A and B are shown apart, each in its own frame.
Chain A
Amino acid sequence: MQSALRGRGAALLVALACLGVFAARARATELFVSNEIDDTVTVLNGDTYKVIATIPTDQRPRGIVATPDHQYVLVCDGDSGNIDVIDTRTLKVVRRIKTGPDPETLAMSPSGDKIYVSNENNALVTVINFATGKWIRQIPVGIEPEGLAVSHHGHTVVVVSETTSMAHFIDTSDWKVVANVLVDTRPRIAQFTPDQRLLWVSSEVGGTVSVINPRTHRIVHIINFHIPGVDREYIGPVGVRFTPDGRTAFVALGRANRVAVINAKTYKVEKYILVGQRPWQISFSPHRRRLFVVNGLTNDVTIIDVSSRQAVKSVPVGRLPWGIAVVP
Chain B
Amino acid sequence: MLGLLALVVLTSASVACPVRAATGRAGVRTFSIVLLRKRYHFNPETLPSLLESHPANLGVAGAEEATFELNTAGKFIGWDFKLDVVTVPDGGNLVAAAQKLLAHGPRVIIADLKANDLLTLADLPAAKQSVILDMRTIDDSLRQQECRANVFHLLPSQAMRTDALAQYLVLKRWTRWFIIQGPTPQDAVYAADIRRSAMRYGAHVVAQKIYNYNPGSRRSDTGYQQIQTQMPLATEVNGDYDVIFVADETDLFGDYLSYNTFAARPVVGTQGLVATAWSPAYQEYAALQMQQRFDLFAHRRMTELDYGGWLAVRIVGNAVMRGNITSPIPMRKYLRSKDFLVQSYKGQGLNFRRWDQQLRQPVLLMTPLMTVSISPQHGFLHPGYTTDTLGFDKPETKCNLH
Contact = CB atoms under 8 A, between A and B. Distances in A.
Interface string A156-173: 000000111110100000
Contacts of B289: 120-121, 144, 162-163
B386 A236 contact: no
B217 to A, nearest CB: 40
B89 interface: no
B42 interface: no
Interface string B274-314: 00000000000010010011001000000000000000000
A234 B69 CA distance: 25
Contacts of B229: none
A205 B349 contact: yes
Contacts of B292: 102, 121
B167 to A, nearest CB: 16
A113 interface: no
Contacts of B387: 233
Contact of B73 (A122, A142, A177, A255): A142
B68 to A, nearest CB: 9
Interface stretch (A25-33, A179-187, A298-306): A179-187
B76 A205 contact: no
Contacts of A144: 286, 289
Contacts of B73: 142-143, 164-166, 182
B293 A233 contact: no
B2 to A, nearest CB: 8
A166 B293 contact: no
Nearest to B351: A233
B77 interface: yes
A66 B348 CA distance: 32
B77 A163 contact: no
A206 interface: yes
Nearest to A207: B349
Contact of A205 (B72, B321, B322, B341): B341
Contact of A233 (B1, B69, B72, B386): B386
Interface size class of B (residues with CB under 8 A): 20 to 34
Contacts of B57: none
A205 B343 contact: yes
Interface in B65-111: 69, 72-73, 76-77
Residue with the highest number of chain B CB atoms closer than 10 Å, among A121, A164, A166, A255: A164
Interface string B38-69: 00000000000000000000000000000001
B368 interface: no
A233 to B, nearest CB: 4
Residue with the highest number of chain B CB atoms closer than 10 Å, among A143, A177, A180: A143
Contacts of A205: 341, 343-344, 347-349
B385 interface: yes
A206 B385 CA distance: 15
Interface string B311-332: 0000000000110000000000
A260 interface: no
Nearest to A120: B289
Nearest to B338: A232
Contacts of B386: 231, 233
Contact of B349 (A102, A121, A142, A206): A206
Contacts of A233: 348-349, 385-387
A327 B77 CA distance: 40
Nearest to B292: A121
Interface in B346-390: 347-349, 385-387
Given A180-B77, A233-B385, A164 B69 contact: yes
Contact of A162 (B286, B348, B349, B385): B286
A255 B347 CA distance: 9
A236 B72 contact: no
A180 B77 CA distance: 7
Interface string B1-23: 10000000000000000000000
B376 to A, nearest CB: 10
A168 B349 CA distance: 22
16 contacts: A121-B293, A121-B296, A144-B286, A180-B76, A185-B341, A185-B342, A186-B343, A205-B343, A205-B347, A205-B348, A205-B349, A206-B341, A207-B349, A231-B386, A236-B347, A255-B347
Closest 6 CB pairs of A and B: A180-B76, A233-B348, A164-B73, A205-B349, A185-B343, A143-B72
Interface of B: 1, 69, 72-73, 76-77, 286, 289, 292-293, 296, 321-322, 341-344, 347-349, 385-387
Interface of A: 102, 120-123, 142-144, 162-166, 168, 177, 180, 182, 184-186, 205-207, 231, 233-234, 236, 255
Given A164-B69, A205-B348, 16 more contacts: A121-B289, A121-B293, A142-B72, A143-B73, A144-B286, A162-B289, A163-B289, A163-B343, A164-B73, A182-B73, A186-B349, A205-B343, A231-B385, A233-B385, A236-B347, A255-B347
